[in-house]
Structure 1
Amino acid sequence: MNETPATERSVMTCPSCDLVVIIETLNTRADGYCPRCAEHLFSGSQTSRRHHLALAITGLLLLWPSVVENLFQLYLAGKMIDVTMLKGILLLWRQDYWFVSGLVAWCGLLAPLGLFTGIILLSVDIWPRRMLVSLLVLVNHCREWSMVEVFVISLMVAIFKLIDVADLTLGPALVPLAALMMLITLIHRLYDPEIYWRRLDLLPVHVEGRGDE
């Protein structure tokens, strides 16, 4: 007699539209999406919290040199100018390019920082139910906005514009920046929020008193 594949069943809430979704899987590697808004709910890859934690710690280690180290040195009008991501963001802000400065700061710095920090905090089993939900929402939003390639594209445009009028020397931050971009792409593929939603199902629900009527 043929055996029926084991079915796993769990309940989770879509982080985008708050639809309660009942998930039934047959231990396959298929991805899961919300039936209402098509939000990606979980990945079919067999990853664990240890994989997520290792990727997040590596991301933090790569983020620091990508932000503070020289991306390139610019020799213009007899002056040597060091260009870093942080200096570029501040320069755009001072020149009143507030939207561009904010976009680069969010996509290239703050969202990746929130993504890595959120995943690291999720790996710690000390959070109450409400805090765990907040961390899951934070990681979901930061994962959508972590786009270091936005800064890389603007950097390439600046290099092409300046290459005819100044001498450019590539800096050491380009290597960790490229590695960071690939690592974020890997996290997008391997991060599985269902692991943490299962933990949420095991936490007690705190019911507040309604007071005297």
Structure 2
Amino acid sequence: MTEAVPDSRIACHECDLLMQRPEIHGDQVVHCPRCGSRLISSHPNSAERSLALALAGLILLVPANLFPVLTLEVLGREQQQTIFSSAMALYQDGLALVALAVLLFAIMVPLLKLVLLAYVAGALHLQTPWPGLSLAMRSYQHLDQWGMLEVYLIAVLVSVVKLVDIATVHPGLGLYSLSALIAVTTLSSSQLDPDLFWHQIDDLNKSSLVQETFDE
């Protein structure tokens, strides 16, 4: 049985122009010759960088959610606020949809994004065709548009400005962890090379099919 030849073509996601895949060396950006949209943004060791950033983000998620983001002191009384407790406070105030949005886009979506990125990058780093790689990569790219940790951080900063006149506000470890988490997730998105990931996933899937055929 002859070995499958990897597809050397690439299609523009904006104008559907089909062209030969160019040779990429080091940090390079390839644009479509017809519409000018970015086709490839190459980063050396993209899988290893993405895996390291995903693991760092998963570690930072723990203190960002467990430790208080802010501590308010009013007339000698202290009240600590975490991301989860702020969502519960919104729910108790009758803002159920806003509370659900905070839970989804400040906790669940970032967690799922980092887990999917670690799964895909880990498989590519180990060159192992783990099940569901294509679905995991596709889901990550969809969820990458819905991470709103930056919006939550801006809301926290606005709250600090409004509360500083009536209470003493102390930033907590959760705020610093959240800021670091935002930096890590932003960096992971910028360092990800989608074209390389999809190309390697396709190669792994093809090699897995060939191996299964030989085993049969």
TM-score normalised according to structure 1 size: 0.76
Q: Does 1:194 align with 2:195?
A: yes
The answer (yes or no) to whether the contact 1:41–1:193 under 8 Å persists in 2 is no
Q: Give unpaired runs (5+ residues) of structure 1.
A: 1-7, 207-213
Alpha-carbon separation, structure 2, partners of 1:107 and 1:11: 36
Q: Give unpaired runs (5+ residues) of structure 2.
A: 1-5, 210-216
Q: 1:8-32 deviations in whole A, cap 9, x for unaligned? A: 9645688x89x69656123253435
Matched residue type, 1:187: S
Alpha-carbon separation, structure 1, partners of 2:114 and 2:34: 28
Alpha-carbon separation, structure 2, partners of 1:117 and 1:53: 10
* Structure 2 match to 1:25: 22
Corresponding residue SS for 1:137: helix
The answer (yes or no) to whether the contact 2:46–2:191 under 8 Å persists in 1 is no
Cα RMSD after superposing both structures: 3.2
Aligned pair count reads 195
Which is helix-richer, 1 or 2? Answer: 2
TM-score normalised according to structure 2 size: 0.75
- Cα distance change on mapping 1:177 and 1:193 into 2, 3 Å: same
Q: Does 1:45 align with 2:43?
A: yes
The answer (yes or no) to whether the contact 1:68–1:84 under 8 Å persists in 2 is yes
- Cα distance change on mapping 1:62 and 1:159 into 2, 3 Å: same
Shift of 1:185: 1.5
Corresponding residue SS for 1:145: coil
The answer (yes or no) to whether the contact 2:29–2:42 under 8 Å persists in 1 is yes
Matched residue type, 1:84: T
Matched residue type, 1:66: A
The answer (yes or no) to whether the contact 2:42–2:196 under 8 Å persists in 1 is no
Q: 1:191-210 deviations in whole A, cap 9, x for unaligned? A: 1122331233222498xxxx
Corresponding residue SS for 2:173: coil
Query: Which of structure 1's runs of 4+ aligned residues deviate more than 4 A?
Result: 11-14, 19-23, 32-42
The answer (yes or no) to whether the contact 2:54–2:118 under 8 Å persists in 1 is yes
Match of 1:85 among 83, 93, 104: 83
Give the fraction of aligned pairs with identical amino acids, expressed as a percent. 26
